[in-house]
Each structure stands twice: as C-alpha cells, then as structure tokens.
Structure 1
Amino acid sequence: MKKIWIALSATGLLLTACGNEGTVENEPIEQQQVEVVSDNPAIEETETEVAEPESENVETETEAEKDTQTEVVNHGDYAELREYGTIVEQVGADYTFETVTDNEGNRVLFLNDHNGEKQYKTIFVKYDQRLEIIKVNGEGGGKVFEGKI
C-alpha cells in the first residue's frame, strides 16, 4: 500500500512538471482519466480513476444569482439631486435621466425607458422645493405627482 502512495505521488509530480501534456484539453475535468500504474510486480493490472469535480453546482449557483438580480440603471450624479428620491418612489428606477434645463430657478428632466423613449417629464422648482412629475407617453398620461418635497 505504501508503494502505491509513493507511485501516486511520483506520478503527480511528473504530471505537474510536464504541464498540460498529460491532460485532455477538450474534455471537462469530470471526464478526464488518470492512469495509476503500480511499481509492484505482483500487481499487473492498471487502475483507472475518474477525477472528481471540485464543485458540482458552481454554474448553477451563478445562474441562480443572475436570475435574482434585477437590472438597475446607474443614475450617477442624478441620485444626488434633491428630487431624486421622490421621482424613484413615484415611477421606479428603471429609467435613464436626461437633463433638459437646469438653472437657478428650476430643473427639467426627461425619464427615458430602455428603448430611449421619453416616458416622464419632471419639473423641479428650486425656490419653493416643488416637484411635478408628468407621464408624457403611453396610457395614463398626465400628472403623476405634484407637491412640495
């Protein structure tokens, strides 16, 4: 038994030193076969072992994680605007922001869907902190929100 372990160790060192010469590159690890030959003359058979995969569910876990993640649009500097929280609360975060006007008195933004079509227009009056959100495309058009924030 001790000789078998020595033979396995020597074979492992030899395979490691030779690099990829002893592996089958097109087969997954689970299907690659490693031959173990004994130095003991009493044992004439060659044993074949199948290498076990390190983790069976690595790919499945990654796919499951992707399924649970929703696509969130990165709003960058827009997330720092005074009216941002109210806008996201009223219409959601699935829109990209486009600045139309931003001056001392007011800020006008368009919220575009994933196709780039304008869905909402927001008007924020800076002096009295009033926000108006208007749906400009699709069913249910008109004011969605109007109030002081």
Structure 2
Amino acid sequence: MNKTIITLIAVAIMLTACNSKGEDKNNNEVTEKNEQLSQTEGGQEVRQENDQNQSNESSNHEESTSLPEYNNIIEQIDNKEFNFQTITDNEGKRVLLLIDKNGVEQYKSIYIKYTNRLKIIKINGEGLIFNEIIEGK
C-alpha cells in the first residue's frame, strides 16, 4: 500500500515538473502503467511488499535494542512484543511509539537526551507510567 502511494506521489511530481508535450505523453503512459499495477495487486507484487515489511521490522527491532532507553521500556511494558516507530529523534529528545501486532498504538516513550530522563505513557489507559532519570550510555 505504501509502495503504491509513494509511486503515485513520485509520478505526480514528475508530471508537474515536465513542461514539454512529449514528456507529458511519456509520463501519462508511466502513470497508466503504475495505476494498472496498483489495481492488479497480484501474487508477486504482494509477496515483495510482505518481504520488504518483514525486513523493515527486523532492522527496526535491531535499531531499537541499541537505544539506551530500550531495556527500561521493555521492563515497564512487561516484556511484550511491540514494533517501535520513531516519531522524533534529534539532539535533545527521542519520541517513540510502541505499536502492538494489531497495529494499535499502545505506548509512547519520550527520552530527554541531555538529562537521561525517560517518560513512558500508556496511550489508552493509565497515562504516565514511568518518569525517571535512567543510566545513559
């Protein structure tokens, strides 16, 4: 699904950037082919997307385990399996969403890098469940 959206956005950008009629004709042909592909989401295309999602989840998990706040987060959420989605990661703070296997956002973590303060919020329920300074790397 995301691949289709990205493709359509890229095609739209290419169409608006073209000025000559010949280029517009070629881009229209590309757009039609992309629309046909998105409409016929058959076997191999779906398999490639699933393989890509599994690869992204694996690399996402590896990146998450290397974070200084990872162990504290896992302790607070009872070691349940979640996908980590980075919302913000800059010099001052990192904000992560923890999403369950059904795609529902369950927790939000905020790690303040300068002070090593970690806050964990249960999105649908208890609210703030952890707010402490942790040992950083």
Q: TM-score, normalised by structure 1?
A: 0.48
2:111, 2:82 → 1: CA distance?
A: 18
What residue number does 2:114 align with? 127
- Show the counterpart of 2:132: 147
How has the CA–CA distance of structure 1 residues 119 and 100 changed in structure 2, closer, same or farther, with 3 Å as cutoff? same
Report the alpha carbon displacement of residue 144 of structure 1 after superposing the two structures with TM.
1.0
Structure 1: 4+ residue segments shifted above 3 A: none
Hey, what does 2:96 align to over in structure 1?
A: 109
Compare CA radii of gyration and give the structure with the larger one: 1
Matched position secondary structure for 1:127: coil
**Please, which runs of 5 or more residues in structure 1 have no aligned partner?**
1-72
Question: How big is the alpha-carbon RMSD for the aligned residues of Structure 1 and Structure 2?
Answer: 1.4
Amino acid at match of 1:145: F
Counterpart code for 1:90 = Q
3-state SS in 2 of match to 1:128? coil
Q: State the aligned residue count.
A: 75
Per-residue CA deviation, residues 91-124 of structure 1 (Å, 9 max, x unaligned), is 0241110000000000000000011110000000
State the shift of 1:129 in Å.
Answer: 0.2
Give CA deviations for 1:31-82 in whole Å, capped at 9, x if unaligned.
Answer: xxxxxxxxxxxxxxxxxxxxxxxxxxxxxxxxxxxxxxxxxx8521110000
Quick one: which amino acid aligns to residue 101 of structure 2?
A: H
Segments of 5+ residues of structure 2 without an aligned counterpart are 1-56
Which has the larger share of helix?
2
More RCO (CA 8 Å, sep 6+): 2
Q: How high is the sequence identity, in percent, across the aligned residues?
A: 49
Partner of 2:81, secondary structure, is coil
Distance 1:101 1:93 in 2: 23
